[in-house]
Homo-oligomer: A and B are copies of this chain.
Amino acid sequence: MDTITVSLGKRSYQIIVGKGALRGLGTAIRKLKLGTHAYVITNSLIRKKHAQALATALRHSRIKVHFKEVADSEKSKSIETASSVLRDLAHYARNKNVFVIAFGGGVVGDLSGFVASVYKRGVPYVQVPTTLLAQVDSAIGGKTALDLTEAKNMVGAIYQPRLVISDTSLLKTLSLRQVQSGLAEAVKYGVIKDAKLFSYLEKNYASALALKDGAIRRVVSCCSRIKAAIVGEDEREERGIRTVLNFGHTAGHALEAAGGYHRLNHGEAIAIGMLVALEISLQMGLITPRVLARIEGLISRIGLPTKAKKIPLKKILQSLKHDKKFKGRKNRFVLSAGIGRTVIKEGIAPALIEKALRKRLQ
């Protein structure tokens, strides 16, 4: 197993990455004294496939397990679902020393983290991500979120988990499309911070796609290490350090929203969002056409889209206006200054953004 630490003083925690990491869950929870009763938030598919493994790991340590299913859909990141889960949790938790486990992908992780952060003003929670996207990115760093009809992730908190268990053997049941989506975030880490990871992905994307043990563990560990370091330095995105993680996400979120959250999944939207940011970077002279071509090449070989289909520009521009990272009327983009390097720019001319978007629409 690889062990990575997110250093946040008293709130520090470990990320355990590897095949079979789940087996250590119960022991780790006992050691951390998180509670005696696990309230596991999950969806029906994950429950069917992996509940047995989770329950066994917990029961070995005499931790009681209760499963709560939510729909496997972005719609579960709503205040309504959070409310119903909170009521169920309050009912279950009576006279119990309860903690929460997020057992699923990004939706389950964001929702569970939110629920844990507000229930009784905060109970401990553990992330057990079951998608590649969640293992390389969303399960780490404590960003919890719900959507409003107005925009994604408008409601939430920064509330750190007490432990992250990224068992790469759980990924075996993912569809190819889900693995590709996760690799989009891995490409992001390479582009923003780690030219070595980027080169590794160029050479080994096929092994990663095939979930070969060595390759997938290396990708998950490497991304986790980068994210852990960034979160440790700038937990609340106050110092402009954590902001770089939003590379590709400004246009990406707008594309997701404009596509009604079904045309593109998160990774696909981020793949195109990165290319939009790269088009802007290119137009501003921050990168050469060769850099863009190299990144587009990797994205394309992974099998991710490089252009968005059937999403009207007008809708994207509308969603973009509501980006919660924008302060007042100023837009803000994370741009590339070459593989491994970023710059943050504010107040980019709308015409430039539109031009970049047009290049990535079909």
Contacts and interface: CB of A to CB of B under 8 A. Distances in A.
A9 interface: no
Contact of A157 (B121, B148, B154): B121
A287 interface: no
Contacts of A148: 86-87, 90
Contact of A36 (B36, B83, B96, B328): B328
- How many interface residues does chain A have, given as a range? 35 or more
A63 to B, nearest CB: 14
Count identical subunits in the complex: 2
A148 B148 CA distance: 21
Interface string A314-356: 0000000110101111000000000000000000000000000
A91 B117 CA distance: 25
Contact of A149 (B36, B87, B156, B158): B87
A323 to B, nearest CB: 10
A73 B80 CA distance: 21
A65 interface: no
Interface in A139-157: 143, 145-146, 148-151, 154-157
A97 interface: yes
A122 interface: yes
Nearest to A145: B121
Contacts of A154: 86, 90, 119-120
B328 A155 contact: no
B324 A155 contact: no
